[in-house]
Structure 1
Amino acid sequence: MDHHSLEMESRQSHSFGRLSAANSSRRQSLSSAQYDDTIESESVSEAGDIGDRILHSNRCSASGRSHFSLDNGSVVPIQDNILSSTSLPSHLEKLPSPSVDLQTDSEENKKVLARYCLQKLFGPGVIGATSDGSYMYLDLPSNMVGSFLMGWFGVVFKGDISMVSDQLAIGLTTGFLGSLTTFSGWNQKVLDLCIEGHWIFAALAIFIGLFLVAYSIIFGIETAKGFRWLCKHSNIKSFFGIPTCLRACNLNKSNCLLTIMAMFLLMLGLLWGLFGALAKNNFESGGSKAQLFLACMVGPFGVWMRWFLARFNGRGLGIAGHVKWMPLGTLAANVLAASLMAALTTLKKTVKTKSCDTAVSGIQFGLLGCLSTVSTFIAEFHAMRESLHPWRAYAYAMVTFVLSFLLGTLVYLVPGWTRGYD
């Protein structure tokens, strides 16, 4: 083989080597992009809650990364080695201990009373009040307040609160704010407007309601960031700047854990007994008091169900985990609660007895009001809007409303149209 042939072969070899390296680089880049998209899809789905999975992992998903943060409009993963007590990402969550459920339950009765008071401020006579004068006058105030506070305690300061107490962080977000708001009442209001023939107002109730709660959480996030900046530049120790001596008594310690569990278990038992006695004394006479006391008794069961269903957030469908970006647990909780709310409303309008009205209204306000949530839903919606695929937020909202409305139509509107409600 002459010198010219050897030179040509060498050039071809180098050319093929460069081409192979380039193809390998493209494949690696494509694989990295797909991996990042998978991480982001799983992260936005876990923006609100992951249920009891939080008890069995170090807040890490199947992808091997921690929760996520919003950075310049993009969802980025947070690795464990970058965590610090002075600069915590907004959506950072730590591993809570098994006492979370007790803290969550103790917040339920407070939440039922808070939502009841907010709705009573907008009692009968306001636009949107139900024609039968039931408890469900207007859920918008509680949904807006809960979404605003979710921006504070569920986004900006959640990591800081978790540094002090995981139980407090979960109790505030999953327990209090997740149940202060109610999606089932919102959907039922839309169905009530439809049964009365106010289709335009029903559509406006969806779009305006979504707009208001979406901007409530944005306003909450911005004001919380402003408060953080003010505390930082004015040398004021805010509530998240807890002294080291308090952090030493962390709730994850076994001795503190048992004390907290016993305290909240005792508190839950006392509240159940109190509201049970009050509900029994007022049940025969009926009215809003009996409904409220019954709602306080059954409320914790609703949040237990939502807590369990939240484990499916970030898992996707099937073994392959399709549509991981869809929070299936929150979606299932809201759709199930909305469907049961419509079914029980049909039962109440059909039976028409005082006892049935009291029992059904208490279950609707307590159990289904806690099972469904707007603040967690809107936190996930906001995370999707800030991600690289903002269209997912609107697809998620559309799927939630369409499924809830269709099932509500089958169990509430169709019987009303065929037989009629007085």
Structure 2
Amino acid sequence: MDSGGHPLGARSGSLLSRRSSRQGSRGSISLSREMGDSILNSMRRSLQSAEQLLGDVDSSLLAQVIDSGDRGLAFEDDADEEVENTLEIDDTPTRIHGTNSHGTSVVTPVSLMEPKDTTANVPTNSSIKGEPYKLSWMLDYASYLIHLAVFGFLGVFTRYGLQKLFGPGCLALTSDQSPLYLDLPSNMLGSFLMGWFGIIFKADIRHISDHLIVGITTGYMGSLTTFSGWNQKMINLSSKGHWVYAVAGIVLGMFIVNESITVGAETGERLRGWILKCIREKSSVGSKCDWEHWRVDTRTKHSMLLAAMVILLSLLWILSIVLAIVKVHSLADGAVLWLGCSVAPPGVWLRWYMARLNGGGIGIGKHRHLKWLPFGTLAANVLAAAIMAALSVTAKAVHTKRSTAVLNGVQLGFLGCLSTVSTFAAEVYTMRRSGQIAKAFVYAAATFILSFVLGTLIYSVPVWVEHY
């Protein structure tokens, strides 16, 4: 959807050709991530042509376009087959090199970045083939975890702040007693930003740092939005007999987040087109925009960035734990926030780990079914919703201030980060843009029905029976 480019022309046959050969050397560029970025890039360039392109691609890639978790690192040692793909866009062939086992992807064809050597393979963060500054597997994995944790903290802070700003204590636009639930503003903002950074600018940011784009999308936006909190608010309403409000909250909320990511993608497309136009105008007058110095592609840059992130993570986590202990003990304001921040990183990590299930389908080997369904995201949201319901009914049963603060902190941090609306909305958006409306509906319906039914059995039934 580059406003400065031309729409994709009609192609006869498949747009993608694959050539495989056995290699003794090991690579770390993931076919799924390459294809995912290519898909998103084509969606940027022409929304009208996205259906045609996506229709030719293995449906399992649709489930991995937004998040494939740590799949690229977990099976890196098994990489033994190199795949070279050619994607033709506007009669300009773009070479994508990598292995079909998993790893990180290269920049897509129309990145804002300007490589110094456009004919060479673009280096990635996980492993730079043929270069001396290749990161070890464990260091690469740790870097992902650290980025996820740091951005997860920021996501929890933002979500909590939006709850307070738009909630009853300030603007009073959202509440626990209406379809406009407390987490609606954060879900809207996260979905909007996902349209920007998860779809439009994803390949450009990945060209700078693959760890950074995972931190922004999976870490920040995944933690800024929460599906379990949304589901639990609707269960609370239904348990009190407000079924109309509960249904309205689900339907209205889904419509709002869908529109948010659509608006985000459209505005991001225009912004990106404007940036490209400015770059071309500066280049025409001899003022070249060189973005290469921003790339984290050397051992020194990796080490400096990793050291800064480790220091930041240590400060945030230690501060959160200390303040959580102090404030929970005294039941002071902010106890829920700091306790939530203390348990946020494990929630982000677990969701990222579960995302490896996306695109895997059900079955063994070639006999796999439902590969289009993002099972990782679905499982994370349903699991978080079920645990959220269990903690909510526990809080009602125990009913002490300290236990309520602790349980609310776990709900805000761990479960809020384990579940996500931004990734869920992006996956539904991708299916809709590819013309697979029925699959998008089935995926969305399965997520809500499973979460709501489990939540009702775990929370509402005990509430009705015990009259909490």
TM interval, shorter chain, is 0.7 to 0.9
Aligned to 1:46: 64
Aligned to 1:22: none
CA shift for structure 1 position 242: 6.8
Query: Which of 407, 412, 415 is the aligned partner of 2:459?
Result: 412
2:217 is equivalent to residue 191 of structure 1: no
Cα separation, 2, equivalents of 1:394 and 1:153: 24
Change (3 A) 1:79 1:343: farther
Q: Deviations over 1:317-338 (max 9, x none)?
A: 1212210000000000000001
Q: Is the 8 A contact 1:335 1:404 kept in 2?
A: yes
Cα separation, 1, equivalents of 2:369 and 2:191: 29
Aligned to 1:323: 370
- Greater C-alpha radius of gyration: 1
Change (3 A) 1:37 1:228: closer
Cα separation, 2, equivalents of 1:345 and 1:65: 51
Amino acid paired to 1:223: T
Aligned to 1:108: 152
SS of 2:359 mapped into structure 1: coil
Q: Is the 8 A contact 2:152 2:345 kept in 1?
A: yes
Change (3 A) 1:122 1:66: farther
Q: Deviations over 1:340-399 (max 9, x none)?
A: 001000000110111111110000000000000000001100011112422100100000
RMSD: 3.4
Q: Is the 8 A contact 1:167 1:251 kept in 2?
A: no
Aligned to 2:215: 171
Aligned to 2:421: 374
Aligned to 2:5: none
Cα separation, 2, equivalents of 1:151 and 1:38: 23
Cα separation, 2, equivalents of 1:277 and 1:402: 39
CA shift for structure 1 position 415: 0.3
Cα separation, 1, equivalents of 2:278 and 2:299: 37
Decide which structure has greater strand share: 2
Aligned to 1:87: 110
CA shift for structure 1 position 232: 2.4
Cα separation, 2, equivalents of 1:222 and 1:38: 24
Where in structure 2 are the equivalents of 1:229-308 lying within 5 Å? 229-235=273-279, 243-247=290-294, 250-308=295-353
Where in structure 2 are the equivalents of 1:152-163 lying within 5 Å? 152-163=196-207
Aligned to 2:405: 358
Cα separation, 1, equivalents of 2:332 and 2:181: 15
SS of 2:362 mapped into structure 1: coil
CA shift for structure 1 position 260: 2.6
Query: Which of 433, 438, 447 is the aligned partner of 1:400?
Result: 447
Where in structure 2 are the equivalents of 1:142-161 lying within 5 Å? 142-161=186-205
Change (3 A) 1:67 1:192: farther
Where in structure 2 are the equivalents of 1:117-132 lying within 5 Å? 117-124=161-168, 126=172, 129-130=175-176
Change (3 A) 1:271 1:407: same
Change (3 A) 1:117 1:355: same
Identity %: 43
| TM-score between the two structures when normalised by the length of structure 1 | 0.80
SS of 1:321 mapped into structure 2: strand
Change (3 A) 1:112 1:288: farther
Cα separation, 2, equivalents of 1:407 and 1:242: 53
CA shift for structure 1 position 57: 5.6
Q: Is the 8 A contact 1:335 1:400 kept in 2?
A: yes
CA shift for structure 1 position 166: 1.2
Q: Is the 8 A contact 1:193 1:202 kept in 2?
A: yes
Q: Deviations over 1:11-62 (max 9, x none)?
A: xxxxxxxxxxxxxxxxx9xxx9xxx86844112111220110133569x9x9
| TM-score between the two structures when normalised by the length of structure 2 | 0.72
Change (3 A) 1:84 1:120: closer
Q: How many residues align structurally?
A: 371
Cα separation, 1, equivalents of 2:402 and 2:86: 47
Structure possessing the higher relative contact order (Cα contacts under 8 Å, 6 or more residues apart): 1
2:233 is equivalent to residue 222 of structure 1: no
Cα separation, 2, equivalents of 1:86 and 1:313: 25
Q: Is the 8 A contact 1:50 1:312 kept in 2?
A: yes
Cα separation, 2, equivalents of 1:342 and 1:105: 25
Change (3 A) 1:253 1:300: same
Structure 2, unmatched stretches of 5+, are 1-13, 19-53, 99-105, 113-122, 127-139, 283-287
